[in-house]
Amino acid sequence: MIDDLSRQTDLVVLIASVLGLAMVTYAVMRVWVLKLVQAFIRRTKSEWDDKFMEHRVLHLLAWFPAVLVLYRGAEYLSAYQDVVQRVLGAWVFVLVMLLISRLLDALLAVYETYPVSDRRPMKGYLQMFKLFLFLVGGIVAVCLLLDTSPWGVLSGLGALTAVLLLIFKDTILSLVASVQISANDLVRKGDWIEMPSAGVDGDVEDIALHTVKIRNFDKTIVALPTSRLITDPFRNWRGMSEAGARRMKRAVNIDQSSVRFATEDEVMQYEAVDLLAPYIRVRREEIAAHNEQHGVDRGKSLINGRGMTNLGLFRAYVRAYLLAHPKVRVDLTLLVRHLSPDASKGLPLEIYCFTKTTDWGAYEDIQADILDHVLAAMPEFGLRAYQRNALADGRV
């Protein structure tokens, strides 16, 4: 009886001693060693080691000496040695999986500090790898606990392929979408994308395996399934940013009843406009040569032969104004054209050009300034803007 009590007391003391030594080892690693490492890392100029600290990679390393102490201590527990060591083996395997996962997160954080990460996001691939790691690692850890070979369990998964494909259908679709997005460079972090069917109109903040995070311009956040970037049409405005220009496509509606031929006196008056003078000189010579060649006498009627109209002169002026504008790109498409007339809208005169900035606020200011000037210059050419006004269209 006394011997049994003595053996039990010795066993309790032994277990307590091993556990106490393991706790002391863990505390020394966390309190002393880890703090020294952190202090050293703070003094370094590189950023990659800071990422390892942020993702607590080194915190997991503090467990391994404590587990080693427990593993060696289990050798003195002959009756429970096998069970304890199998549990510790599974625990070490789980710690290794967590360490690999945090290490990958830290490496991803380092990778995202480089510009190439915007063009080639790797988060989706790492998430897929981690999913596979934990799936296989979980099976191996359970097999270690049960003292069973993991190869038999893993080979048996082949029969469950159809079930696994059904369970991980969304994951597989997302993985395929991530590969296509990366390979074709469809979307990058920071891109402005627009997908009306999903209520998306904003900047891409994150590209993960299953979702793409977009912050709309109204500051709402949309979590869009990655696969929808392959199945649904969307617009990416990255090309605009790369070109450094933003398109302006606006029209002013002209009252068609105000369009008429310009008299010679009016043409001479318009010739005093600096931006219009070169056009008028070339146009006058061209029209005079044509009318002389065909024996046209415009003195009898302004509609004889060829002549200049107030709308044509105004269109030439707007084009010259845009070419001289300091914030309009003259190396890109620049048009001032008529659109199809509409009885309810008049004759649209469309301005099609590109500004030198892509900033939203600056772009709107440039666009407003151009339209302000065009509308203010219109009466100088005897033209009226179309509007449903009784004094303008003759209706009571």
How far is the C-alpha of 279 from the C-alpha of 319, rounded, in Å? Answer: 11
**What residues form DSSP beta bridges with 261?**
309
**What residues form DSSP beta bridges with 215?**
203, 221
Does the reported pTM lie above 0.75? Answer: no
The reply to whether 163 and 193 lie within a common domain is no
CB 68 within 8 A of CB 89: no
Q: Give the domain extent around 62.
A: 2-177
Q: Give the residue with greater pLDDT, 346 vs 305.
A: 346
For the segment 156-173, what is each residue's pLDDT rounded down to a tens digit?
A: 665 566 666 666 677 777
For the segment 97-123, what is each residue's pLDDT rounded down to a tens digit?
A: 888 888 888 888 878 777 777 667 777
Which pLDDT score, from 0 to 100, does residue 183 have? 67
Percent of the chain with pLDDT over 90: 24
Cα angle 385, 389, 392 (rounded to 5 degrees) comes to: 60
In order, the DSSP letters of 252-311 are EEE-GGG--BPPHHHHHHHTTSTTTHHHHHHHHHHHHHHHHHTT--TTT-TTSS---BHH
Which pLDDT score, from 0 to 100, does residue 4 have? 56
Q: Grade residue 365 by pLDDT with cuts at 50, 70 and 90.
A: very high
pLDDT above 70: residue 228: yes
The reply to whether 151 and 33 lie within a common domain is yes
Q: Could you say which of 177, 195, 225 is where a domain stops?
A: 177
| Average pLDDT of the residues of the chain | 80
CB 259 within 8 A of CB 383: yes
Q: Grade residue 209 by pLDDT with cuts at 50, 70 and 90.
A: confident
Provide the phi-psi class of 9: left if phi over 0, else alpha when psi is between -120 and 50, else beta.
alpha
Residue among 370, 395, 377, 373 at smallest CA distance from 257: 395
How far is the C-alpha of 312 from the C-alpha of 261, rounded, in Å? Answer: 9
The reply to whether 116 and 226 lie within a common domain is no
CA dihedral 316, 320, 321, 326 (to 10 degrees): 160
Q: Grade residue 265 by pLDDT with cuts at 50, 70 and 90.
A: confident
CB 271 within 8 A of CB 283: no
Q: Give the residue with greater pLDDT, 76 vs 294.
A: 294
Which pLDDT score, from 0 to 100, does residue 396 have? 38
The reply to whether 308 and 173 lie within a common domain is no
Grouping H, G, I as helix, E, B as strand and the rest as coil, residue 236 is strand
Of 24-38, 153-167, 256-270, highest mean pLDDT: 256-270
Contacts of 129 (CB under 8 A, 6+ apart): 104
The reply to whether 268 and 153 lie within a common domain is no
The reply to whether 146 and 112 lie within a common domain is yes
Region 210-236: what's the mean pLDDT? 89
The reply to whether 23 and 150 lie within a common domain is yes
How far is the C-alpha of 390 from the C-alpha of 396, rounded, in Å? Answer: 5
**What residues form DSSP beta bridges with 248?**
353
Alpha-carbon distances of 45 from 37, 42, 50, 56, rounded to whole Å: 14, 8, 9, 19
Q: Could you say which of 177, 202, 217 is where a domain stops?
A: 177
The reply to whether 160 and 197 lie within a common domain is no
- Tally the residues of the chain: 396
Q: Grade residue 371 by pLDDT with cuts at 50, 70 and 90.
A: very high
Residue among 245, 256, 270, 250 at smallest CA distance from 337: 250
The reply to whether 131 and 205 lie within a common domain is no
Which pLDDT score, from 0 to 100, does residue 6 have? 60
The reply to whether 7 and 120 lie within a common domain is yes
Backbone angles phi, psi at 200, to 5 degrees: -105, 125
The reply to whether 230 and 318 lie within a common domain is no
Number of domains in the chain: 3
Alpha-carbon distances of 314 from 247, 266, 339, 374, 377, rounded to whole Å: 22, 12, 15, 9, 8
How far is the C-alpha of 333 from the C-alpha of 339, rounded, in Å? Answer: 17
How far is the C-alpha of 368 from the C-alpha of 374, rounded, in Å? Answer: 10
Token pair belonging to 201? 């109109």
The reply to whether 375 and 304 lie within a common domain is yes
Q: What is the CATH number of the domain that holds 222?
A: 2.30.30.60
Which pLDDT score, from 0 to 100, does residue 389 have? 57
Q: What is the CATH number of the domain that holds 366?
A: 3.30.70.100
Q: Could you say which of 237, 264, 283 is where a domain stops?
A: 237
Q: What b/e sequence results for 219-237 when a residue is b if at least 16 CB atoms lie within 10 Å of its CB, and e otherwise?
A: eeebebbbbbbbeeebebe
